[in-house]
Structure 1
Amino acid sequence: MARVRHGIVILPQTDWPDAAQKWRRAEEYGFDHAWTYDHLSWRSLANQRWHATIPTLTAAATVTGRMRLGLFVASPNFRHPVPFAKELATLDDIAGGRLIVGVGSGGTGFDATVLGQRMLTPRERHDRYVEFADALDTLLRFEEPGSGGIWFRGDWFTADAARMVGAPAQEPRAPLWLAGNGPKAIRYAAARGDGWITTGGPEEDREDWWRGVADLARRFEDAAEAVGRPHIARVLSLDNEVAYSLRSAAAYRDEVARAAELGFTDVVAHWPRESGLYAGDEAVLDDVADRLGSTRP
């Protein structure tokens, strides 16, 4: 069985330089990738301190040098692909080609209405998601000099002679890991993504949740096989509002093993918070460090 890669989400709630210590420690612990949420605020944490995504990852890039950095996941609720792609390309340049771009359809919470927009139907959200991700795929690739820029005109987004940074830091561009659980989203990720991200379903019972994850994994495997792409990354977020994988080192090891058995190549957990959602003890990270290949003294 291939080694599972380990990721950690550091919520953008801590002021710099205290946050810098978490990003440095994540790399020292041996995590393969580290992420932050791409929200303007989020669910039960909406009234708490919450920093912006791109500046956070840019700062994280300057205090790390090995692990990949990413957005978990980018939202079209409040973004246009043209300026966003330029921000991503600049970030990847600063990070030395370590960026992973997670992309989703955009939630239905605060971010979906903060700019005064109407609530979209599920079909509209999916159509906008595909157009957004397809645009990023085009924009993040190298624009040949003298090409006249990048043009597209869709139902949701338009670009007239858009210019990007130049040659991307990664070839052919930063990888796009596409999120989604519905049939259309799974087929789209299998056909167009460099990886697929799932958070599992809404089940509160953990065994029911794992059964749902197993079903999603089978559906994605079938979709990837159908388009001849069986080897792209499969990424499972282990945590939700009712279960936290880093509650103990033993629990984390068990959940990682279950994910591996289902064919996931990558797992993502959340940095322990002091209270509330994802509450835990940071000492657990020391306990799992040996498994991650820690370089901490």
Structure 2
Amino acid sequence: MVHVRVPGSATVAVVRTGIVILPEQRWWVAEPKWRVAEEYGFHHAWTYDHLGWRTLVDGPWFGAVPTLSAAAMVTSTIRLGTLVASPNFRHPVPFARELMALDDLSDGRITVGIGAGAVGYDTTVMGDTELPPAERTARFAEFVDVLDRLLTRERTTFEGAHYEVREARSAPGCVQRPRLPFVVAANGPKAMAVAARYGTGWVTTGPPAGSVETAEEWWAGVERYAARFTRALDAIGRRKHTIDWYLNADSSPAYSLSSAGHFRDVAGRAQELGFTDLLAHWPREEGVYAGSEAVLERVASEVLPELVSG
């Protein structure tokens, strides 16, 4: 078990902010967004690690690793990461190599967000059989364990129910020591146990889409998940302040960047529940996460400085 701390991740009284930029636009359009995310003062920027995603599956879509590689080249301070990588189409051995390369390109600014992966396109497009929830969680636990070994040991040999690794090398290793941080996505008890054991951070989406109708119902679910994760930490004797808590605010029925005032309220509620980090999505012209970039500008100029200053 490796608990990694990163600069600026000590216990804070304010909420750090992150922005998610979907990998759906050609680089000449996407590149300015990554630059601006840093200029606006976001603490971290993320992209989805999928082969295709939900209602956008028939539209343009690019790979997360090359996208983050390019983003690392046009930024210098903001942390970058996957939201989230999963075993649905990744094997820990080649993925560990890709993460080490990203960590090197960014000079130690990469955080890997990892989750169990949902059913759907990421699985079916490769012809695989969709696993039932319990087996998918078991595979995820093994995936995280193997990835941790690969990133912290010179050589790894492993034989499990889902993965076999033979004498995998890890030179030169990560820039961040003992490895780059893991932010583990978890809503259920078993996945939360993985987050409690391996995570530098825990990220939740709150109640799944379709299970709640109002923002208030969603926040009530987030509060239940926060209490559940506290119990997961208690079960292994880990203190809450040793792990960052990330909230994906746009899993709520109410888009976080609908107005500057709403974003301010979302940040306040997240802080009250113990979250250290808040994730919002760059506004899109239509469909999911539809919004106005003018609101994003107002949030950056008015709200983010308030959060930083406390």
- TM-score bin (small chain): over 0.9
> 1-side partners of 2:171 and 2:45: how far apart?
24
> 1-side partners of 2:213 and 2:288: how far apart?
14
**What SS class does the counterpart of residue 251 from structure 2 fall into?**
coil
The answer for the alignment partner of 1:29 in structure 2 is 40
1:205-216 alignment, distance < 5 Å: 205-216=214-225
Instruction: Check conservation: 1:35, 1:72, Cα contact below 8 A.
Output: yes
The answer for the alignment partner of 1:112 in structure 2 is 123
Match for residue 304 of structure 2 among 282, 289, 292: 292
Q: Deviations over 1:69-111 (max 9, x none)?
A: 0000001000110001000000110000000011100110100
1:53 equivalent in alignment to 2:64: yes
1:112-261 alignment, distance < 5 Å: 112-143=123-154, 149-202=155-208, 203-229=212-238, 230-231=240-241, 232-240=243-251, 242-261=253-272
**What SS class does the counterpart of residue 239 from structure 1 fall into?**
helix
- The two structures have a TM-score, normalised by structure 2, of 0.90
Letter of the 1:45 partner, please give it: L
Structure 2 residue runs of 5 or longer lacking an equivalent are: 1-11
Match for residue 78 of structure 2 among 67, 79, 84: 67
Letter of the 1:74 partner, please give it: A
Post-superposition shift, 1:151? Answer: 0.8
Letter of the 1:84 partner, please give it: F
Instruction: Check conservation: 2:218, 2:252, Cα contact below 8 A.
Output: no
Segment of structure 1 superposing worse, 203-212 or 159-168: 159-168
> 1-side partners of 2:254 and 2:47: how far apart?
19
> 1-side partners of 2:49 and 2:213: how far apart?
24
**What SS class does the counterpart of residue 14 from structure 2 fall into?**
coil
Match for residue 6 of structure 1 among 12, 17, 23: 17
> 1-side partners of 2:91 and 2:191: how far apart?
20
- Over the aligned positions, Cα root-mean-square deviation in angstroms equals 1.4
**What SS class does the counterpart of residue 59 from structure 2 fall into?**
coil
The answer for the alignment partner of 1:85 in structure 2 is 96
Post-superposition shift, 1:41? Answer: 0.2
Instruction: Check conservation: 1:33, 1:67, Cα contact below 8 A.
Output: yes
> 1-side partners of 2:45 and 2:237: how far apart?
29
> 2-side partners of 1:142 and 1:92: how far apart?
16
Post-superposition shift, 1:142? Answer: 4.7
Letter of the 1:33 partner, please give it: H
- The two structures have a TM-score, normalised by structure 1, of 0.94
**What SS class does the counterpart of residue 197 from structure 1 fall into?**
strand
> 2-side partners of 1:160 and 1:91: how far apart?
23
Instruction: Check conservation: 1:76, 1:105, Cα contact below 8 A.
Output: yes
**What SS class does the counterpart of residue 275 from structure 2 fall into?**
coil
> 2-side partners of 1:164 and 1:2: how far apart?
37
